[in-house]
Structure 1
């Protein structure tokens, strides 16, 4: 406390008891892919050796996540389009071209063993490197289609609890073979994942002809674009896949009728326009609350935002004043979410509630050093099936 030694008026700054909750980022991707040791790196502008030859950029080390904020920056770390980085380069290019702005890229080097071991058979070690990178909210391993790969990616996202997986379906499988397209079945953990099928065709600047590539990088960019233009609560579907020339195989509505209930999100061509035409996770029936990827991602966003925005409460006196501060802080945040259209209800009272009082914090709870807050939210769900019932009536 300051000392007051003489009569007068003293004006002092009083910091707020708690700061408003700021929503966390939702569209930072993490990509894992193979880049050969001998890829050709572009020259550094204005840098020459003693023989007056351009000095190329240095290839990024394997096994270290590197923040990338543009396609040009990717080229300086992993090289331009070429055979040694083709799948990863197309994925990252598609991410930025579709609206992504920030991603972490982890390079995997080809095996040096004899005979060589296929890289990323089980990406668990590489995924572990993403754990300290708290801002990652989307994980993709472009081209990973095996059961072991999908299981590892799903397990990583479920373990972290703040990110989702974008999985590539097996593009060589027939649309009628659900288990072939989706090697891992529905589960609680799989509510943290969405799978997309079929693969897409893009222009390959190396061969100068269309090439078939996995769609996960482009889909991650669509997530980011959708978050920026509409919000994370809006399903990233009925969205154009920018830079896609076509799909690897046409999918009819009848074929999608068998895929959509199984949690396989179809990419379809509508008169030449390539669109994402599905918005489901791979959740099982017991976890139907997270059937839609928008619900899962928005719930992750709420949890992470509230967690970050209420750190002020740790070690504060566990009294009525703290309970009111928590209710006000969380309530104001959810009020803004309701105003943005993320929560369903004609009024805020119908859209959410925050309860932190003597009922949630009886003496036995307080004695354990705990303060318990109960939060309820009505998250908007996508209108997946739009139905018009038209009736013919007699005129008057």
Structure 2
């Protein structure tokens, strides 16, 4: 409604500048799926948990409750810097997903947009891996953290496991050839970790070391690095807190093999136990590094949410310039924060939304197309120092003698 200016004086009015800053979405909220210490509590619900005490209050009440892989993973998550997670208790169920009448298990997390990481601690079968990876691939806004089997060998970790499939020939027909491997299938939305971690069980009054799947600790490290450095920083070369040993010692030679297979190793160094790998399970070199995948997830989700106002706006130059301006400002902040590589803005990113990307046939179809390119920072995975003997000191001594 227009203001009526009747009395002489000064009028202050708020006007829209048109700029709509894009705020980066969260990247460190985890969705955990598994069996709670009290399996009958809050089954197949996505329960927000903000600290270890809250988890105990919700999922560990009752007599003689014992730790489970899920509980120990949540403990490791908070010990390593995690702050928010959603826990889905599947009770005594053996499947991660597959409800007919309602969403169950992993499928419950489809309703939680905040989740950026998913894990099912201790579920190490090929069908479990496939369920987690399929979930992440379909959602396209999260990555799956997978645990290698506790007793896996180096040879098994480099061969993809066979997913159970119904026999095409009916009952009695030979099934698919079974693989001796245990590795998860290729995917740019998943990361695979080995070995398990030894830690003291918080549910035991007397100190007792137990081996636990690493996904909870790893997810906590993701959150810690995101908060300290940003999602563009590879979550590796980081100390694993609440880890008191490893049941398997991975050698340099072992990792030389496993790294090429997309297996991220956890190793013991003088400084402590560290994550020593940051690769996805992808065979595509463009998506080899985990931080690149997670950065793109964040950028895509942020742009999708931050430009929702464009829907049903006129497809004209004003709207297109607004898209270029808002998205460009967001990417410029990322570049300044070190998430994009390039000496100049032009080298780091571009945003194009004009007549060329929106010809008449595109406009007539009700579409507005913007083309965006970013140059992500990739980790220095192999540090190489070329060192040779230098005779410069001897030459200087000879020159001094002659003088």
Q: Which residue of 2 is the match for residue 67 of structure 1? A: 48
Any idea what SS the aligned residue of 2:72 has?
Answer: helix
Q: Which residue number corresponds to residue 2 of structure 1?
A: 2
> 2:176 maps to which residue?
none
Q: Which residue of 1 aligns with 2:23?
A: 22
5+ unaligned residues in a row in structure 2: which ranges? 99-103, 160-179, 396-403
User: Secondary structure, in 3 states, of the residue corresponding to 1:296?
Assistant: helix
Deviations 1:92-134 (A, max 9, x none): 0110110000000011111xxxxxxxx3344344111100100
SS at match of 1:267: strand
Distance 1:149 1:103, change over 3 A: same
Alpha-carbon RMSD across the aligned residues, in angstroms, is: 1.8
For residue 363 of structure 1, report the CA deviation from its aligned partner. Answer: 1.2
Q: Aligned runs of 1:209-224 on 2, under 5 Å?
A: 209-224=208-223
1:170 is matched with: 149
Match of 1:355 among 352, 361, 364: 352
CA distance in structure 2 between the aligned counterparts of 1:227 and 1:270, rounded to whole angstroms? 23
Which deviates further from its counterpart, 138-147 or 82-91? 82-91
Which residue in 1 is equivalent to 2:305? 308
Question: 1:332, CA displacement in angstroms?
Answer: 0.5
Distance 2:105 2:49 in 1: 17
Deviation string, structure 1 residues 264-288 (Cα, Å, up to 9, x no partner)? 000001137110000000002xx22
| Contact in 2 for aligned 1:20/1:332 (Cα 8 Å) | yes
Contact 1:145/1:169 (<8 A) preserved: yes
Report the equivalent of 1:373. Answer: 370
Matched, 1:123 2:122: no
For 1:345, the equivalent position in structure 2 comes to 342
Which has the greater radius of gyration? 2
What SS does structure 2 have at the residue aligned with 1:129?
A: helix
Which among 319, 322, 333 is matched to residue 322 of structure 1?
319
Counterpart-to-counterpart distance in 2, 1:142 and 1:80: 21
CA distance in 1, matches of 2:349, 2:383: 26
Quick check: 1:78–1:85 contact (8 Å CA) kept in 2? no
Take 1:122 and 1:103, find their aligned partners in 2: how far apart are those partners? 17
Distance 2:25 2:61 in 1: 32
Count of paired positions: 363
Say if 1:181 and 1:16 are closer, same or farther in 2 by CA, change over 3 A. Answer: farther
Note the C-alpha offset of 1:11: 3.1
Any unmatched runs of 5+ in structure 1? 39-58, 111-118
Q: Do the aligned residues in 1 keep the contact of 2:37 with 2:59 (CA within 8 Å)?
A: no
Query: Residue 103 of structure 1 aligns with which residue?
Result: 85
TM-score by length of 2: 0.86
Look up the match of 2:236.
237
Conservation of the 8 A alpha-carbon contact between 1:95 and 1:220:
yes
Q: Does 1:194 align with 2:191?
A: yes
Q: CA deviation at 1:391?
A: 2.3
1:267 and 2:266 matched: yes
Determine the C-alpha separation between the residues in 2 that align with 1:279 and 1:120. 30
SS in 2 for 1:330: helix
Q: How far, CA to CA, are the matches of 1:167 and 1:181 in structure 2? A: 15
Q: 1:88 aligns with which of 70, 73, 82?
A: 70
Q: In structure 2, what is the Cα distance between the partners aligned to 1:351 and 1:171?
A: 42
State the 1:184 CA deviation. Answer: 2.4
Cα offset for 1:218? 0.4
Q: 1:97 to 1:36 in 2, by over 3 A?
A: closer
Larger strand proportion of the pair = 1
Note if 1:153 corresponds to 2:132: yes
For the 8 Å contact 1:80–1:89, the answer to whether it is kept is no
Residue pair 1:68, 1:105 contacting (<8 A) in 2 also:
yes
1:135 paired with 2:114, answer yes
Distance in 2 (alpha carbons) for counterparts of 1:236 and 1:145: 22
How far apart, in 1, do the equivalents of 2:95 and 2:6 lie? Answer: 76
How much has 1:16 moved relative to structure 2? 3.3
Report the alpha carbon displacement of residue 64 of structure 1 after superposing the two structures with TM. Answer: 0.6
Give the drift of 1:86. Answer: 2.1
Q: Give the C-alpha shift of residue 199 in structure 1.
A: 0.2
